[in-house]
Amino acid sequence: MSFITAATVTTADLGELISGSAKIKEIAMGLGATDVRGSQMVMGGDQAGLVQVQFDCPDINTALGVWEGLYQTSEQVDLMKRSGTQLVRRSLLRVVAERGERSGSWGSGLLISGDSVDDATIDSNIGDAWANMSAGATGMLFAETIAAGATQNVAPYYALTWCDDMNLMMQASATNMADPKVQANMAAANATVMGRIIAKTIL
């Protein structure tokens, strides 16, 4: 089991934010994060243009400690000031099942509503989906929202996918959604896709 804590921000100077990210990653990993990724939302309604930085953490205490530690450093505070970056929201997800790697030039996030399903079933369902998605994706995971404010009531689950070619990924996604086995899995969980976000990897 692992967790992802994500900060969604606005920034006036994306280049400055990216240039200072290596030091922030170094500090975060020193605080227990196992990886750090960043992306800018390109398509996603009113979220387009926002930047999201994700920190992979082994447990909730580490996720909380990463944020506490970062805001105690001059590097984090100074970078936010220099780049004109402001926090919009911060969230915490529990990774339930995953296939492939959390890497790629592009990312897609599906917001999903549905019933509570046990981890073993979700892992099996992700395996069925990955049989289709692997044709166009480098990795995917299914996560349960632990803390995300009001959006948690609308879409308590996220399906995150990474790829290097969005055309191929969307073709694989269409194949996946048309798969009778995947449709049966979604129906059994009363799962409904509430929206999609497409983001470009920036760090």
Domains in the chain (CATH in brackets) are 2-92 (3.30.70.100), 93-201 (3.30.70.100)
Q: Which range, of 33-42, 104-113, 148-157, averages the lowest pLDDT?
A: 148-157
The Cβ of residue 127 has, within 10 Å, a number of other Cβ atoms equal to 11
Closest CA to 54 of 143, 149, 153: 143
Instruction: Using the predicted structure, report yes or no on whether residue 38 has a pLDDT greater than 80.
Output: yes
Report, as an integer, the average pLDDT of 189-202. Answer: 96
- Residue pointed to by tokens 């990897």: 201
Cα angle for residues 134, 140, 146 (degrees, 5° grid): 165
Instruction: Using the predicted structure, report yes or no on whether residue 191 has a pLDDT greater than 90.
Output: yes
- Residue pointed to by tokens 């399906």: 159
* Interatomic CA distance for residues 172 and 96, integer angstroms: 22
- Consecutive H or E run containing 46: none
Count each helix (H run) and each strand (E run) in the chain, helices first. 8, 8
Percent of the chain with pLDDT over 70: 99
At residue 169, φ and ψ (nearest 5 deg) are -65, -45
3-class secondary structure, 6 = strand
